[in-house]
Structure 1
Amino acid sequence: MSCICDVVLLLLCDSVPLKSISVQVRVQDHVATVSSTLQYVNEEECPLEALFVFPLPADAAVCHFSAKIGEQEIVAEVQDRESARDQYDDAVSSGQQAFLLEESAESPDVFRLSVGCLSAGQNAAVTIIYITELAVQADHSLRFCLPAVLNPRYTPAGSGAGIVSEISSGCGAVPYTLTLSVHVSSPKPISKLESNCSLDPLVFLQSDHTQATVNLSPGHMFDKDFELFVFYQDTHQPSAIVETGVTTAPPGSLMRDPVVMISLYPEFPEEVMSSLATRGEFVFVIDRSGSMGSMMHYGKGAKMRIESAKDTLLLLLKSLPMGCYFNIYGFGSHFESFFPKSVVYNQETMDQALKRVKEMKSDMGGTEILKPLKHIYSQRCHPDHPRQLLVFTDGEVGNTKEVLDLVKSHAHSHRCFSFGIGEGASAALITGMAREGSGHAQFITDTDRMQPKVMQSLRFALQPAVVNIFVDWTLPDGLTVETLSPPINVLFQGQRTLIYAQLKGESSGGSEGTVTVKYSLKDQPVTNQLHFCLKPTEETGLSIHRLAARTLIRSLEQEKRSGAADVEGIRNRMVELSVQAGVSSVHTAFIAVNKDSRQTVKGPLKRRRVLAYDSDEFDDMCYGVPQMGCDDDVYVELDEEVELLSGDSEEYDDMCYGVPQMGIRRGFACFKPESNDDVYGDIDIYDDGFDALAEAAPESQKDLLLQLVSLQKASGCWDLDATLADVFGKTEDELTNQKPAQVDGSVWATLLALIWLYGCKIEQQVEWQFVAMKAASWIGSQKVGDLSQCVCAGNVLLGCQVTKETLGI
C-alpha cells in the first residue's frame, strides 16, 4: 500500500524559554518525594505565554507548586479548577504574571503548566513537588522513574491536536540542562543503588548504611527515562508508618487525624504455589501501531519492539499447558485476531499461531486499545478456564480513564496483566490496567529483555488464585479505623500490597495496633499478621496523608464516572479533599499570581512552540518511529507552519500505515528518500518499509535459546533431528550415535534439551522454566526405565554436569 504524506505541522523558534531542570529526589523507605525546578528565561523582545504539558508517575500526588521571579517567590493555592482558570485569565489579560498547573481530564499522569506574561528578558523558576509510591520489582528492588519526556509538551492553540513534546531547533542537542540528586533513607540498611544512567559514586551518610546520597553524572542528555533501583536488606519484611495529622485542620477530617500506611508481603505456602494451573484462557493483546517499529534501545544488538514482542510470543505459546484456550489480537487504528474465538491449545493451533506471529508487523496505524478490549469482553468465557489478558503496548492513549473503567467493570471475569514497552508507554495506562484488572504491571525499558518480565507475569497468571481476602484491624479502646484504600482483589507471591487507613478517636491506653490479612488458597485458610507502633517513628512531613488523600480522590473519581447518583456531591467531596490536603485532582488546579507585577503589555502575548512527536498522534500521521536512529538519514529542517491533517483515525490509517521511515526528532524530519526531490515533495512510503529496514540492519547473533524453544512440540517434547543438533553445535549423527539403546529418539532429544537448558542457560531460567516443566512432565508420561544412564550420556555429549534430580524427572 502506498502512503503519501505531504503535510506536516512544525513551528520552530529561535529560542526556547526552558533553560534548565533541577530535580531533587528524597526516598524514604517505599515513598519518594520529588522536587523539580524548571528555569525559564525569556530571551526575546516580546512578552511570552508558554503552555507546556508533561507526564508524572501515574499515582503521584502533586502537593506543591510555586514560582520565583527574581527574589520574589509566589506559592500557589489549590482551588476549584474553573475558578483557578478564570483567575489566571484575568491576571494575564491585565498584565500580571500568573502560573497555572492542571491535571489532564483524560489521563491522571499528564499535567499542563501555563506560564503567563513573562516580560522580555525576565527569569522565572517554577518548582513542582510530588509524592509517589515506589513499585517493587522482580529482583526485590524499588523502582523510581523520571520520564524523559518531562521535557515540556504543548497543545497547539485552537486545535484538538493533542499533546506533543518540546524540542530544540538544533539536531543532537537539548536546549536545557538537567541536574539530579537523590537522598535515600530507610529503617532497613541500603544494599545498593542501580540506574540505567551514569551515576556518581554512592555516598553513605551513616555507618549502618540507612542513609545515602547519589547524583546523576554530568552530561546526561535526557534522551531516555531516568530509572533508579533501590535495594534494601530484607525488602520483603512487612512494615507500617504512622503519621500525625495537622492540628489546625477541621476535626474529623483526613488531615487532622493520624494516618497509617501498611506495606504487606503475604507469605504463601511453597507447596501450594509450586503447583501451577493447567487450565485457563490466555488472550494476548499486541500493540502493532507504527511506533512498535522503534528500537528497544540504542545499544548494540537492539531489536525492534515488534520483533522482541514476536520472540516473547514464541516463548509464551511454547509455555502454555496442553488443553488450555488461547487467542492473539493485534491492534492499532483497527484490530484483528488470529482466531474468531479462543481455541484449544494443541500442536495444530500452536503451529497456526506461530506461523502468523512470524508475519506480524507494526503496520496498523495508531494506538486504539478500547475497541479490541470491548470485543474481547463481549466474548463468552469458557467455564472452568479463567480468562487472563496479557496486554503489550508502547504507546499512550487519549482515553486512559475510559479504558481503565472498562477493565474494572470486567475484573470479576477477566484478569489483566500489562506490559509497557519503551520510554513512551503511559504509566497511568499500564499500572491502571493491572490494578483494575487484578493483575500485575511490568515496564520494559532501555536494555531490558522483554521475556523474563513477561514470563514472571505468566507465572502469576498460572498460580492458584487467592480468594476471600479479608483485612481485620485490632486497635486499643477508643480508636477506630477507616480504610481509605480500595478493597484488595488480588495477592501475588513476592508482591507488596499497600493499605492506607485513617485512625479516629483517642486511645485510652496501649501503643500498638495489629492488622491481619486472611484469605483462602486452594481451599486452605491462610493468615498473615503485622504488629505496628501507633507512635510516629520518623518525620515524614505529610507525605502519607497526601498519598492517602490521592488514593481516596481516585476512588471518588471512579465512583463518579461509574454513574453514581450524587455526581455533584462526589465532585464537591473531591474538591474539598483536594483543597484540604493540598494535592491535585481533576476538578482542582494550582494557581499563583504575582499581584505586584502589573505592567503594561504592548501587543498580544506570543507563544513559542516547538514540536516533536507524540507516540499516538504521530502514529496516525506516518511519523511512526521517532526513536529510530537518523544517523544515516537525510535531515531536513522544517521551518514553516503547515496545516494539520484532519479527520478521524480511520482516515489517518488509510493514508499512513505507521511506517518507520519517517520520524520527527528534535525539530527535524527524518527520511530515507528515494531521491532528493522527495525531501520537499510528496513522500511515497510503503508497508514493506519494515522489511527493508530489517534487511539493512546488521544481522544479529542467533539466539540459541529461542531457536531451541521454537523446536519444542506443544506436548513438551523435541524431535531428534539436524535442527536440534545445530543448537548444540553438533551434527545429527553425533546425537544419534550417542543415544542409549533403551530410549527412543524423542525421549533422548528431550533429555538433551533439558540438560542443555540447565547446563548452558541456567542464568535465563525464568524464561524457559515452563518449557522445561512441560518437557519433564512429558518424559515422565513415557514410562521410561532408569534414566540415570541417559543423563550421564547426555552430560558427556554436551559437556555438562547436570543431575537427574535437577532436571525434575
Structure 2
Amino acid sequence: MNRCGLLTTEKEPVPLKSIEVELQVRDHVATVVSTLSYDNKEDKPIEAVFVFPLPGDAAVCHFSATVGQTQIVAEVKEKQQAREEYDDALSSGQQAFLLEESDQSPDIFSLSVGSLPPGESASIRLEYVTELAVQADDGLRFCLPAVLNPRYQPQGSEGPSVEVTSVPASQVPYTLSFSVRLSSPRPISKVESSSSLEPLQFLNAEQTQATVKLAAGHRFDRDVELLVYYKDAHQPSAVVEAGQASAEPGSLMGDQVVMVSLYPEFPQAVTSKGEFVILLDRSGSMQNARISSARDTLLLLLKSLPMGCYFNIYGFGSTFEHMFPKSVEYSQQTMDEALKMVKEVQANLGGTEILSPLQHIYNQPCITNQPRQLFVFTDGEVGNTMEVIDLVKKNSGSHRCFSFGIGEGASSALINGLAKEGGGHAQFITGTDKIQLKVMQSLRFALQTVVENISVTWDLPKEASVTVLSPPITAIFQGQRSLIYAQITGQTSEVAEGSVKVKYSLADQDFENQLHFSLKPAEDTGLTVHRLAARTLIRSLELEDRESRGRDGAIRKKMVELSVQSRVSSSVTAFVVVNKSDGKNIQGPLVRRDIPVPGTRAFGGRTLPSRERARSDEALPSRQRRRVNEVCYRMAPRPPPEAERFRDSHSRSAPFHQVYDSLVMDMEGAEMCCRRPSSRAPFHQALSSRGRERSYKDDWSPQNSPTGPLLQLVSLQKASGCWLLDSALAAALGKTSEEVEKPKPAQVNQDVWATVLALIWLHGFKADAKEEWELLAMKAVSWLRAQNAPCMKECVEAGNTVLGCKVATNALGF
C-alpha cells in the first residue's frame, strides 16, 4: 500500500488537499465560488471521485479546471453524452473532468477528476448561485453543507442509490477555508453562525458592506450556517438584469429578467380548526439526543393545539406506525393517551422510508371543515427524494406541509421541497438551535387562515411584454417572502417603470400588495438573476418530465436546451471538460480514489465495493466500471450489521460476482431477522412486541419527566388550557403545596388560581422563551375568559406576591 500523502481510514491516499470557499451575498442572493485543490502523490494515475452536498435550490453555473498554467472551462451537455465523452477520454489516456447532479436528489453532486498523472496537481473551480431563505426571526439563512450523511434507499426504488464515502469529521483529510463578503441596499444589522466567526468588519460608514470569515481552528464537523440580518428586512424589492449580449433576443438569456421579492401584509387571523398530522422520523439515525428532543417537542406541540381540532401521530423507519387508526378529535382523553405513547417513542424503526406513510396519510379522507396540516420531522437521510416531493406535490390541494430538517446533513432538497410543494414552511434545526422554538414558529403559520384566490398581475410599458417563469404562488404567510421571476421581452427605456400586483383573499376579505420598480438594469449583477430564473424554470420542467414518466421527449429536449443555453446544471445535463492541451496520453492503469466527506455517522455498508474493490486489480474500461458500480449500488445502502461484518471479512481481491452474490444473500437473510411490526399496527401494539426486535440504545428513560422546568410546567396543562392546583404544579413552580394554596383569594376558583399562577410564572421567569409557550398561554387565557372569573386583578396581584414577580394584568392578555 502506498502510504504517501493524506490517507483515508482504509489507508488509501486522498488526492483532495483543500477546499476554499468564497461567499458573496448581495441582499438576499448568494454567489458561491469553491476552489478544490488536488495533488496526486502516488506513482500511478488516479481517478478521484468526490460525492458532496450542495444547497438543493442552488444553480451551478460554472465549472473549470486548471492544470499547470492551463485553465479549461467545462461545457454543459446532455448527461449521457457528457458521461460518454468523459469515459472515452479516460479510456484513450486523456485527462477529463465531470460534474453531475444526482438523478435522485438535486442537493448531491459528483465530481470526477480523471487521469491525474503521478506528481500532477489540478485546481477545480465550481460556482453556484442560490437564494437565501427567510427565517421566522427575519434572518436570511445560508448553509454551506459540509456534512453528507449516507441516504437510505428504500427497497424497490428506481435507479441506483448515491455512492457516499463518509467518515467522522475528525478524520476528513483535507482542509476548509470560508470567507464572506456582504453588500445590501439596507444596513447590515448582524451576522450569526453555528460556527465560530471572526468579528464582522464593515467596509463603509453606512454599514451596507462587510466581510467576515470562519475563525481559526474551525472543525469540519458541521454544516456552516450563516444568518444575515438587515434593517428593514421586509421591504419589497425588484432587480432587473440586462440580457446577455451574445444571446439571441427573445431567448431567456437574451432578454431582461426581473426578480421580484414581496412580503405580503395582512391581519393574522388565527383559526381553531384543522387536522394536524405529525410524521416523526424514528429511524436509527434519530437515536439518542435527537429522539429525546423530538419527544419534548411533541409534548409542547400537543399542548399548543387548539380545542376543536383533530390530530394523529405517525412514526416511520423501514416501516411505519400510527397512534390512532384515523385522526381523532383533540380532547383531554385523546391528548393524555397520545402523551403516554409519546413518552415511549424510540428511534428503533430501521431505515428512512417516508414514502409509504405519506401514501397512507393521503389515502385517509380529509375531515370536513378541518384543513389538513402535515408536520414532517426527519434528519433527511432519504434516497428517493424526488419521489417523495412529487407525492406531496400531487396531494398539495388537500393539505399544507411543514417540514423540519433535524441535525447536520439533513437534505435541503427534501426539506425545502416538501414545504415548497406542500404550500408550507421549512425549518432546519442544527447545532444549538432549539427545535421547540422553530416548531412553534411553524405552528403559528399553520394556524393562520389559508390565503385563497392568489393572483399576480403586471403593468409594463406597452412596448414590453412579460412571461412569468416561476410556478404560481400557492401559499402566502404573514411576513414571509414570495419570489417571482419573469422575462421581459421588448425594448424599454431606462426611465421606464413597471409594477406587479399580488391579490388574494383571506376570511372573505380581499387584499392586495403592489410594487413599483424601475426597468433600468442593475449593475454588477452579472447573470445571477438570469441563472436563478433558469434554475426555477428547469425545476418546473423536471417536475413535468417526472409526471409524464419521461415519455414526453419534448420536455426533456427543452430542459437540455435551457440548461446548455444558461449554463445551469440540471438532472439531465452535466458539465464535462477534456484536457487536450499537450496531446500526451497518460500511461498506466487508472486507480480510483473515493474522497470521503464528513458525516455525523459513517456506515461501512454505505460504501459497498468500489470499482477497484469490486473486482481484482484487473483494469476495466471506465465506462464498464461505471456500469458495474451502478449495479452494485442498487442494493439498500444501509444493510444490517450482519451484512457489514460479512463485507469486512471478505478479501478485497475477491471477484466482483462472488462478493456481490454473497452479500445479497447475506443481506436478505439478515433482513428476515429484522422484520418490523405491520405498518398499520398502532403504537401500543408495536411497543409491546419490541423486546424481540433489534433496537438502538437510547439515553432517555420513558419514566423520566420532561427536561427543564418549562416543559415540566407545560406537561401539567390540560387540553382545555387550564392547570389544576395540586402538588405537581407547586413543585413545577418551585413552591410547596401550602405556599401556593394558602394565598388563593377566597372568591377565586382553584383551577383559575392555578392557571393564573402558571401564566405569571411563564411571563415572569420564561419571557425569553415566549415564542415557545405563547400559543398554549393564549389557550389558557381563552379558558380564563370563558370562566368569567371575578377579581382577576386581585388574583394577579396575589400571584405576583407568591412567585415574587411583577407581571401586569394586561400583560397576561386578560
TM-score band, normalised by shorter chain: 0.7 to 0.9
Task: Name the SS for the 2:343 alignment partner.
Answer: helix
Residue aligning to 1:247 = 245
Q: Deviations over 1:478-529 (max 9, x none)?
A: 0111000000000011111100000011237951111111111111111111
Candidates 23, 45, 63, aligned match of 2:21: 23
Task: Name the SS for the 2:396 alignment partner.
Answer: coil
* Amino acid paired to 1:549: A
> Which whole-Å CA distance do the structure 2 matches of 1:135 and 1:90 have between them?
41
Distance 1:50 1:638, change over 3 A: farther
Alpha-carbon shift at residue 729 of structure 1 (Å): 1.0
Does the aligned pair in 1 maintain the 2:640–2:667 contact within 8 Å? no
Distance 1:252 1:756, change over 3 A: same
Q: Are positions 1:279 and 2:273 aligned together?
A: yes
Alpha-carbon shift at residue 37 of structure 1 (Å): 0.7
Distance 1:186 1:46, change over 3 A: same
> Which whole-Å CA distance do the structure 1 matches of 2:743 and 2:31 have between them?
62
* Amino acid paired to 1:356: M
Alpha-carbon shift at residue 287 of structure 1 (Å): 0.1
Residue aligning to 2:394 = 409
> Which whole-Å CA distance do the structure 2 matches of 1:184 and 1:596 have between them?
38
Residue aligning to 2:418 = 433
Alpha-carbon shift at residue 251 of structure 1 (Å): 2.1
Residue aligning to 1:76 = 74
Alpha-carbon shift at residue 580 of structure 1 (Å): 0.7
Residue aligning to 2:187 = 189
Task: Map 1:289-304; keep pairs closer than 5 Å.
Answer: 289-293=283-287, 304=289
Q: Deviations over 1:123-177 (max 9, x none)?
A: 1111110000000111111111101227999x9xxx9563223448xx9343111
Does the aligned pair in 1 maintain the 2:550–2:556 contact within 8 Å? no
* Amino acid paired to 1:279: K
Task: Name the SS for the 2:389 alignment partner.
Answer: helix
Q: Deviations over 1:780-801 (max 9, x none)?
A: 1112112111100000000111
Residue aligning to 2:306 = 321
Task: Name the SS for the 2:352 alignment partner.
Answer: coil
Paired residues, number: 743
Residue aligning to 1:307 = 292
Q: Are positions 1:762 and 2:760 aligned together?
A: no
Distance 1:371 1:695, change over 3 A: closer
Alpha-carbon shift at residue 406 of structure 1 (Å): 0.6
Does the aligned pair in 1 maintain the 2:167–2:602 contact within 8 Å? no
Candidates 468, 478, 485, aligned match of 2:453: 468
Q: Are positions 1:621 and 2:639 aligned together?
A: yes
Q: Are positions 1:123 and 2:121 aligned together?
A: yes
Does the aligned pair in 2 maintain the 1:166–1:609 contact within 8 Å? no
Task: Map 1:38-437; keep pairs closer than 5 Å.
Answer: 38-149=36-147, 160=160, 162-167=162-167, 172-269=170-267, 273=268, 275-293=269-287, 304-437=289-422
Q: Are positions 1:551 and 2:569 aligned together?
A: no
Does the aligned pair in 2 maintain the 1:96–1:597 contact within 8 Å? no
Q: Deviations over 1:80-115 (max 9, x none)?
A: 112111111111111111000111111111111111
> Which whole-Å CA distance do the structure 2 matches of 1:608 and 1:581 have between them?
32
> Which whole-Å CA distance do the structure 2 matches of 1:48 and 1:293 have between them?
38
Task: Name the SS for the 2:487 alignment partner.
Answer: strand
Residue aligning to 2:628 = none
Task: Name the SS for the 1:791 alignment partner.
Answer: helix
Report the identity percentage: 59
Alpha-carbon shift at residue 541 of structure 1 (Å): 0.2
Unaligned stretches of 5+ residues in structure 1:
1-9, 295-303, 625-636, 659-683
> Which whole-Å CA distance do the structure 1 matches of 2:527 and 2:561 have between them?
17
Distance 1:436 1:19, change over 3 A: same
> Which whole-Å CA distance do the structure 1 matches of 2:545 and 2:566 have between them?
20
> Which whole-Å CA distance do the structure 1 matches of 2:420 and 2:497 have between them?
31
* Amino acid paired to 2:164: V
Alpha-carbon shift at residue 12 of structure 1 (Å): 1.5
Larger mean Cα displacement after TM superposition, 23-32 or 394-403: 394-403
Residue aligning to 2:697 = 690
Alpha-carbon shift at residue 622 of structure 1 (Å): 5.0
Alpha-carbon shift at residue 15 of structure 1 (Å): 1.6
Does the aligned pair in 2 maintain the 1:365–1:657 contact within 8 Å? no
Does the aligned pair in 1 maintain the 2:454–2:502 contact within 8 Å? yes
Alpha-carbon shift at residue 802 of structure 1 (Å): 1.0
Larger mean Cα displacement after TM superposition, 435-444 or 200-209: 200-209
> Which whole-Å CA distance do the structure 2 matches of 1:774 and 1:715 have between them?
7
Residue aligning to 2:5 = none
Alpha-carbon shift at residue 688 of structure 1 (Å): 5.5
Task: Name the SS for the 2:103 alignment partner.
Answer: coil
Task: Map 1:452-601; keep pairs closer than 5 Å.
Answer: 452-507=437-492, 511-563=496-548, 567-601=552-586
Does the aligned pair in 1 maintain the 2:20–2:34 contact within 8 Å? yes
Distance 1:177 1:655, change over 3 A: farther
Does the aligned pair in 2 maintain the 1:397–1:616 contact within 8 Å? no
Q: Deviations over 1:728-753 (max 9, x none)?
A: 11111111111110012111111100
> Which whole-Å CA distance do the structure 2 matches of 1:214 and 1:577 have between them?
36
Unaligned stretches of 5+ residues in structure 2:
1-7, 154-158, 607-636, 643-647, 677-690
Does the aligned pair in 2 maintain the 1:64–1:130 contact within 8 Å? yes
Does the aligned pair in 1 maintain the 2:493–2:519 contact within 8 Å? no
Candidates 775, 785, 791, aligned match of 2:790: 785
Task: Name the SS for the 1:115 alignment partner.
Answer: strand
* Amino acid paired to 1:690: K
Residue aligning to 1:800 = 805
Alpha-carbon shift at residue 689 of structure 1 (Å): 4.5
> Which whole-Å CA distance do the structure 2 matches of 1:340 and 1:37 have between them?
53
Task: Map 1:660-675; keep pairs closer than 5 Å.
Answer: none
Distance 1:686 1:410, change over 3 A: closer
Candidates 30, 39, 48, aligned match of 1:32: 30
